[in-house]
Amino acid sequence: LILALLASAQALIPSSRAVRSGRSNVVMSAEPSRRTFLAEAAVLATTAMAPVAFADDEAPAPAAEAPVAPAAPATPAKPSYGNFEVPKEWGITGKDYYYDAQRVVDHMKYATAMEKGTSNMDSINKNMKKEMVDFVSFYRRFNNVAGKQSFSTLYTAINVLAGHYTSYGTKFPVPEKRRKRLFQEYAEIDKYIKKSR
């Protein structure tokens, strides 16, 4: 304790030297900063204050353990986008735009929601890809359809899903980040189809 007090008194004595550079004097300290000293002095003081244990003393009682909080789940649960019916009939009618658009969106929802290991994933995705191409190639020719909000949003969603098939193939599920974006677009498309836009 006495050594710590002496060291603190020594550190607080100003010892600096002036260095002449150019037009102004710069004061430089040869000692470490006061913050460093105070941190070292605190460590010395706590070690000096610690009780010394002798061989004939009783061992201190162990500290009571704090209750352990339950661990948080390692991975968050995947969001559920709903249960979708497995598509049985593929293709478009070419007669009613809104019927075909809703059918393509429903099939895209199922294809997007499929998880790894889903049976017939490859064949479903190949049929989905063909249906998307057929839909876009047929309906984009009509000016009254190509200008609709539902068509432009569906066209964007088709491009995203087709890009996934091009990059990853038809045997792999849609990644979660892309899946989330697609389901947001599907909700907009459903809204536009209900309003006949």
* DSSP states along 80-130: P----PPP-S-S--SS-HHHHHHHHHHHHHHHHHPPTT-TTHHHHHHHHHH
Write out pLDDT tens, residues 77-97.
555 555 666 777 888 888 899
Q: Assign 144 a pLDDT band (cuts: 50, 70, 90).
A: confident
Per-residue pLDDT averaged across 135-156, rounded?
A: 90
Contact 127, 90 (CB under 8 A): yes
* DSSP states along the chain: -HHHHHHHHHHHS--EEEEEETTEEEEEESSPPHHHHHHHHHHHHHHHHSPPPPTTSPPPPPPPPPPPPPPPPSSPPPPP----PPP-S-S--SS-HHHHHHHHHHHHHHHHHPPTT-TTHHHHHHHHHHHHHHHHHHHTT-HHHHTSHHHHHHHHHHHHHHHHHHHH-SSSPPPHHHHHHHHHHHHHHHHHHHTT-
d(CA 78, CA 60): 50
The answer, yes or no, to whether residue 129 has pLDDT greater than 60, is yes
Q: Assign 157 a pLDDT band (cuts: 50, 70, 90).
A: very high
| Selected residue with higher pLDDT from 51 and 141 | 141
d(CA 137, CA 186): 20
Write out pLDDT tens, residues 3-50.
555 555 555 555 545 445 455 555 555 455 666 666 666 655 555 555
Work out the percent of the chain whose per-residue pLDDT is above 90. 33
* pLDDT score recorded for residue 196: 86
Q: Please state, in angstroms and as integers, the Cα–Cα distance from residue 122 to each residue in 47, 128, 168, following that order.
A: 69, 10, 12
